[in-house]
Structure 1
């Protein structure tokens, strides 16, 4: 009960739900959603005619745009292809990193778990009934290679409530990164 613990309310619009709603909106508008495309490049981002090119099976395609909002994350194509001279970035830099893993394991809970401890913050989230995303706060100097899957799971269990740690099903990570 978030309100009971903080005296405040919060609305969480998780990435999975946001993505689902965006897909539904595109479908309702009759617009295709493209997957597994290669060589995505943003062109003329600050012009009156920005466009995006991409390849499917070696054939180049083009999307003409009114504007481009690069909301694809730190490592996304926007940051790589929109020139710094025209790019506006909005970010808050914290004195720590977030070590995140994605695992093909059932979620520890069907609701988000935010957990603060003396060892640092932890977050448990559900992508689906068989796919889970977990984060732990780490040093900015850490790299994903510093953390074996076993070490990650052990540290996560130390940071989350005991009942959740007891239910946690671990497995190999299919993605691991630090943001």
Structure 2
């Protein structure tokens, strides 16, 4: 990726692009889940998660390449388009979550090795494990706290209000809460070595 992604709030007009991204990324990350990214799970994504969660997208060259769904301080979902994985999009979205909350938690399937390696690199620590009643697969609960603002806060923030203004024609979108971050900013994914 030749420039950093833009992180902005999800808008209803993003729905089809986000669901397509989620479907492809989820099928790749969760091949052990029958029907992942389709059918009832897709319907739940559209009708529940995209409406109730505090959703953010990563955009590169005007294309949605990542999705971050926050439920309070929990990362309820983090998905990056397969073609954009390994390019810093996931890191930028996690750092955005840390910017909004000094401590974040999430759950990851034990069988999702790639995600587990990513979260280990992002300094998440295991808090526990449980069996997911819906899928009958084990989930690991992870937590990350802000340790040093030079590491956990995005660098080079650029406010872009014109691209991120809420449309008056999107009545179902409401922010879940006030956050310490702007509605939209460019994130530099390099980490300072202080």
Relative to the length of structure 1, the TM-score reads: 0.24
Answer 1 or 2: which has greater helix percent. 2
Relative to the length of structure 2, the TM-score reads: 0.23
Q: Which structure is richer in relative contact order (CA contacts within 8 A, separation 6 or more)?
A: 2
